[in-house]
């Protein structure tokens, strides 16, 4: 944790007054996702708390391993995916790895713009819904 911006610590931390490395930033994002699953809020400097200390340390090592394989932009884009935000609780989550490889290919294909990739969404527009009919309503329509 650096108080001023350096070459390694250049991203502003959401949970401290300083700057953090890419792995620390990704770990904060993952801990946010985990906290949302548990319906909790992360406090300031949550990694110092006994409840989050182990989780933070485990995920930061996993983040460093991912940064060796994928770019920071690829990992961050994947973590912002709606499918990952609702189901993921670790950097080792298998669909996360699949999305990382897919996003890495897309980012290599379109290097100038980092695409916001989303999984298939369910269309909840009322105009496309087919109303269900009960057996009684089917008989009335005859």
pLDDT in tens, 67-112: 999 988 888 888 888 878 888 888 888 888 888 888 888 888 877 7
The answer to whether the predicted template modeling score (pTM) of the entire model surpasses 0.85 is: no
E strand residue ranges, 1-142: 11-12, 19-20
User: Which among 116, 39, 43, 36 has a CA at the least distance from the CA of 76?
Assistant: 116
pLDDT in tens, 17-40: 888 999 999 999 899 989 988 888
Task: Determine the Cα–Cα distance for residues 43 and 84; give it in Å rounded to an integer.
Answer: 22
Q: Which residues of 78-115 are buried (b: 16+ CB within 10 A; e: fewer)?
A: bbebeebeeebeebeeeebeebbeebbeebeeeeeeee
Structure tokens at 129: 């819904």
């Amino acid at each position: 944790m650096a108080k001023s911006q350096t070459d390694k610590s250049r991203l502003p931390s959401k949970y401290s007054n300083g700057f953090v490395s890419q792995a620390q930033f990704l770990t904060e994002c993952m801990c946010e996702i985990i906290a949302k699953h548990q319906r909790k809020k992360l406090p300031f400097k949550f990694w110092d708390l006994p409840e989050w200390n182990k989780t933070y340390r485990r995920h930061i090592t996993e983040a460093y391993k991912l940064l060796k394989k994928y770019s920071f932009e690829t990992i961050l884009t994947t973590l912002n995916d709606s499918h990952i935000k609702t189901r993921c609780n670790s950097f080792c989550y298998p669909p996360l790895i699949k999305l990382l490889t897919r996003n890495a290919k897309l980012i290599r294909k379109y290097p100038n713009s980092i695409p916001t990739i989303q999984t298939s969404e369910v269309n909840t527009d009322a105009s496309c819904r087919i109303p269900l009919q009960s057996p009684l309503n089917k008989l009335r329509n005859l």
